[in-house]
């Protein structure tokens, strides 16, 4: 199952949501402003991110700037409490599944949510007998 963390007015969130719909991938959308993120959920997101807090927290956000603290100054409990009270500090969208984790919208990274067997099928579907080979097949070959 894919979980998409979004916020209203976020253009990247809308793009990610539309991409998932266009690719017929089922997902659950969680608006970070209307859904209280549980402590375990926040900890899980932090664990899954490659660089921890730096990947998830926007240090340029107004709420974070007003603290006058460094990310390293927070205990885990303080950080979780801060995120729960100030969800706007989270970068978005956050797209997570059992195998994949992406923060922000990136045309290349989001394709990791397409199941591997479908990606393999797509790479073999276009060959020289395909009418679109000049467009997609050659491009794919050149990228390899």
Spatial distance between the Cα atoms of 129 and 57, rounded to a whole number of angstroms? 49
On whether the CB atoms of residues 43 and 80 are closer than 8 A, the answer is: yes
On whether the CB atoms of residues 96 and 45 are closer than 8 A, the answer is: yes
By residue count, the chain amounts to 144
Q: How far apart are the first and last CA of the chain?
A: 30
Catalytic residues: 10
């Amino acid at each position: 199952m894919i979980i998409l963390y979004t916020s209203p007015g976020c253009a990247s969130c809308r793009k990610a949501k539309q991409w998932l719909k266009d690719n017929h991938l089922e997902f659950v959308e969680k608006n970070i402003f209307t859904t209280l993120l549980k402590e375990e959920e926040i900890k899980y997101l932090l664990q899954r991110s490659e660089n921890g807090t730096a990947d998830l927290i926007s240090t340029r956000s107004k709420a974070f700037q007003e603290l006058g603290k460094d990310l390293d100054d927070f205990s885990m409990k303080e950080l979780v409490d801060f995120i729960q009270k100030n969800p706007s500090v989270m970068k978005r969208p956050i797209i997570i599944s059992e195998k994949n984790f992406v923060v922000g919208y990136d045309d290349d990274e989001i394709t990791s949510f397409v199941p591997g067997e479908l990606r393999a099928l797509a790479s073999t579907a276009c060959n020289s007998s395909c009418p679109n080979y000049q467009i997609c097949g050659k491009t794919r070959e050149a990228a390899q």
